[in-house]
Amino acid sequence: MPELPDIAVYIDRLAARIVGHRLESVRLLNPFLLRTALPPIAAIEGRMVEGIERVGKRVVLALEGDLFVVIHLMIAGRLLWLAPGKTTARNALAFFAFDSGTLALTEAGSKRRASLHVVEGRAALQALDAGGIDVLAASPDAFAGRLLSENHTLKRALTDPRLFSGIGNAYSDEILHRARLSPVTLTRSLDADAIDRLHAATRATLLAWIERLGREAGDWPAKVTAFHPQMAVHGRYKLPCPDCGTPVQRIVHAENETNYCARCQTGGKLLADRALSRLLKANWPKSIDDVA
């Protein structure tokens, strides 16, 4: 799923192309994409784009007349920019035609999770916001207050959109590795130094990846993915940690995988994988030294 760094790059490239331009027409290829009925989608045609915003992991087109087009890419949704005259794209769900070109919303696979909302007024837009704070703008005190507002594992807290905005499975792994913290540590067990370290790691990780992805995107981000070879631990199970060389470990739960370095983050302890540790029981290794 595209997370804050990916959305930031989309917003930057979109702003350069469509702010100040008129949305001439909208073409929906899948009626289930649109999740709102009022105002009707036809109401956005002919409107000038006044700005591009972010609400959590959503891209927002702010149009004249206090109308907002809210695009949630979910897991497999992506945005493509088509040159003027081009009107087709693989796996397309919708096309937004401007005088400067066409924005295509695509989604790979058979599951249709991406969504489109058209809302009127700031209040309606804010109703779509889960309430998480912008970690790049939050002060250390604000970050700490939100982190300690509930007692969850760090992995769950960072990825909870009610607590923090725009962080998902991939960048939470990278943040926790940089902070040298275990993904299963409970938030209220952290001391002040660990909280400060987590705040600094969150900002540094997201800013570094916004800069990297923006540089790599060039004219437009052609490939948006949660897996990058330059990442420290996410998606790198059994590959060496770039800092200590220990094979990266994982915890698998449902559709999510948490990656971590046992030496850098858990003091050498292997975290129990719900399925595998139950299967192996007494044979489940407790330390990275038992498997490395």
Contact 277, 284 (CB under 8 A): yes
Same-domain status, 147 and 255: yes
Domain boundary among 126, 148, 178: 126
Q: Please report the pLDDT score of residue 86 as a whole number.
A: 84
pLDDT of residue 112: 87
Lowest model confidence (mean pLDDT) among 57-71, 253-267, 274-288: 274-288
Beta partners for 103? 81, 96
Mean pLDDT of the chain: 93
pLDDT of residue 285: 59
DSSP letters, 132-180, are -B-TTT--HHHHHHHHTTS--BHHHHHH-TTTBSS--HHHHHHHHHHHT
**Domain-terminating residue out of 64, 96, 126:** 126
> What is the CATH number for 258?
1.10.8.50
> Which pair of structure tokens corresponds to residue 70?
């809210």
- My answer on whether 61 and 144 are in the same domain is no
Considering Cα of 21, then 23, then 29, then 34, what sign does the dihedral take? positive
Same domain, 122 and 157: no
Within a domain: 134: no
The predicted pLDDT at position 123 comes to 97
When pLDDT is cut at 50, 70 and 90, the band that residue 277 belongs to is very low
State yes or no: pLDDT of 242 exceeds 60: yes
Would you say residue 131 lies in a domain?
A: no
Rounded to two decimals, the pTM is 0.93
Residue 127 to residues 55, 137, 159, Cα–Cα distance (Å)? 10, 21, 19
The reply to whether 22 and 61 lie within a common domain is yes
Asked if residue 98 and residue 13 are part of one domain, the reply reads: yes
CA-based max dimension of the chain: 66
Residue 230 lies inside a defined structural domain of this protein: yes
- Note whether 173 and 226 are same-domain residues: yes
Residues 159 and 54: their CA atoms lie apart, in Å, by: 17
Report the CATH number that the domain containing residue 90 is assigned in CATH: 3.20.190.10
**Which strands make up the sheet holding 92-98, listed edge to edge?**
77-82, 101-107, 92-98, 22-28, 47-55, 58-63, 67-72, 115-120
Q: At what angle do helices 192-217 and 169-179 cross, to 10 degrees?
A: 130
How many independent structural domains does the chain possess? 2
Domain around 118:
4-126
Do 35 and 91 touch, CB atoms closer than 8 A?
A: no
- 65 located within any domain: yes
In a domain, 45, yes or no: yes
Domain boundary among 126, 161, 187: 126
